[in-house]
Structure 1
């Protein structure tokens, strides 16, 4: 039975960074990824641009060369997948980790294709795979989309965009500019302050001039085949014609997977329990890295501020 020093769950930027750190320190490792390399980035909107500049997205001090001040999705895919190729990182792709369990000092990792054994496990699964649903009637209709890729399917359609964060604002602006009739339904009283600073004036101006309709302090209560029903800020029930709903309501980590791995979740945000100095969870030699550390607060961690997790984890493993 081959026992790895480290098994890494997830081949996102932080998972890749953990693999590079393990390789530098001559530790045997393997990444297991259910999709492609940086799968979440691959599923981002086609024309998405990062909030961060290129140097803040770099891993392992490998330069990220971008032709624009803010790199886009395709440049990021080229950068991270290029690193995986150039550094010959050990990755099994299109293989889903089903269960992580521990017996004595060895983890058994069961996947869709087999079993692996490791002294240490790093979970770096991000949060983009499970939509934060509204839990309302009609949400399972085909016209409801929790992921947005490009505006062209929505030309000349009546679109409801739910939310006011970056993803919602990008979807509203892009579909509007391709000829959609856009209405935003926003639970809060204004567009989110976290929206990219170069985009926020654009959406606010489109709302002010009436090009994009918006209902603040409002909430969808039902989605039908041809309409959407919502409660407005005055508590009145409104029904509007609708072809598609783009529910940009955010995403969540796989909490069931974390719990089944033995990790304790705390508070309303289901924050996983870990040591912030080592990233080790309540399960000895089981670590967290990247966005997954934030629980429901998915804005707490991102590539820029979680790149350090790899060094912290490998340092702790070596110290043992």
Structure 2
């Protein structure tokens, strides 16, 4: 039996692993995809808004070519952390259930890509599953059509295409700029009165210039009412409008999987999505189950990032170490 099992190998899950490793606490990290899979799925040319030292974990320095790290530099860094610290990560293994054992601790059931079912036992479980797997759905007819996606990776496939981008945050702005540069016809649809004021400082002038020059079309205070095979119907202040398009990028944000926590027995606030937890240790109402990273913030995914989520790791590791000491006694 391990002392702890961490579910999720994002930066915050790896930060907990590094702290447990430092304390000599036996543990395993189970990740259903690759390590830091959310960063891997970011746009290929993405640049972080943070400086590299704010993304560091495990006391491993993060050196970058410029002031702000790129997606590729972050992938290189977190791979180096796992390798240098020899963190016990099992990739491409999806946790399907967490069961409490009669004698204390937990049985973690998982499945590999090949379909093999595994069982792992641990005295504590740390849920660091992030949020990127669960997009905020528009809830409109046609959202499941094949030309609709909630993720943006690269502009090249959209060359010569008519693309509707739904959203007004940083991801929508960067996608709109990229797509315009490769020759796509871009239309932005956002329910707010303007683009978000939280857009990265070096992105805001570019998107504003495109809007001012009408190089891309934009509809603010508007919402998508229906997505069709060859267009999108939106509701505006001036009435309904049809926008012909070939692709729809619904970049409306993401949320954590609260149902997974609830199946373990963790109480989750219906209004905020925040799991009940001790703010000093991040232990939930289920003794031995901890939460880490953005899952702590519930539906407000903008409250916790790598920068502050990684700081939870020492507290969680200390709490697990204290539980170990109590168990020995």
Report the TM-score, using the length of structure 2 for normalisation: 0.94
What per-residue deviation string (whole Å, max 9, x for no partner) do you get for residues 159-206 of structure 1?
100001111111111001111111100011111111111111211111
Please state if 1:117 is matched with 2:117.
no
Q: Which residue of structure 2 aligns with residue 303 of structure 1?
A: 306
- Check conservation: 1:215, 1:233, Cα contact below 8 A: no
Q: Which residue of structure 1 aligns with residue 114 of structure 2?
A: none
**Local SS of the residue matching 1:185:** strand
Distance in 1, Cα, partners of 2:198 & 2:278: 28
Distance in 1, Cα, partners of 2:214 & 2:286: 54
Distance in 1, Cα, partners of 2:13 & 2:4: 11
Please state if 1:269 is matched with 2:272.
yes
**Runs of at least 5 residues in structure 1 that lack an aligned partner in the other structure:** none
What per-residue deviation string (whole Å, max 9, x for no partner) do you get for residues 234-272 of structure 1?
3x0100111100110111111211111111111422111
Q: Which residue of structure 2 aligns with residue 194 of structure 1?
A: 198
Please state if 1:137 is matched with 2:154.
no
Of 33, 39, 42 in structure 2, the residue corresponding to residue 41 of structure 1 is 39
Q: Which residue of structure 2 aligns with residue 108 of structure 1?
A: 107
What aligned pairs does 1:57-206 form with structure 2 within 5 A after superposition? Answer: 57-104=55-102, 105-112=104-111, 113-206=117-210
Q: Which residue of structure 2 aligns with residue 314 of structure 1?
A: 317
- Check conservation: 1:187, 1:219, Cα contact below 8 A: yes
What per-residue deviation string (whole Å, max 9, x for no partner) do you get for residues 10-53 of structure 1?
01111111111111111100000000111111111101111101
**Local SS of the residue matching 2:93:** coil
Number of residue pairs matched by the alignment = 317
Report the aligned-residue RMSD: 1.0
Distance in 2, Cα, partners of 1:269 & 1:238: 33
Distance in 1, Cα, partners of 2:281 & 2:294: 16
Of 2, 5, 18 in structure 2, the residue corresponding to residue 4 of structure 1 is 2
What per-residue deviation string (whole Å, max 9, x for no partner) do you get for residues 191-226 of structure 1?
111111111121111101100111000001101111
Distance in 1, Cα, partners of 2:128 & 2:265: 15
What aligned pairs does 1:229-248 form with structure 2 within 5 A after superposition? Answer: 229-234=233-238, 236-248=239-251
What per-residue deviation string (whole Å, max 9, x for no partner) do you get for residues 130-172 of structure 1?
1111111111111101111000011111110000111111111
**Runs of at least 5 residues in structure 2 that lack an aligned partner in the other structure:** 112-116, 324-329
- Check conservation: 2:231, 2:242, Cα contact below 8 A: yes
Q: CA deviation at 1:129?
A: 0.7
Q: Which residue of structure 1 aligns with residue 326 of structure 2?
A: none
Please state if 1:217 is matched with 2:201.
no
Distance in 2, Cα, partners of 1:318 & 1:36: 28
Q: CA deviation at 1:82?
A: 1.2
Report the TM-score, using the length of structure 1 for normalisation: 0.97
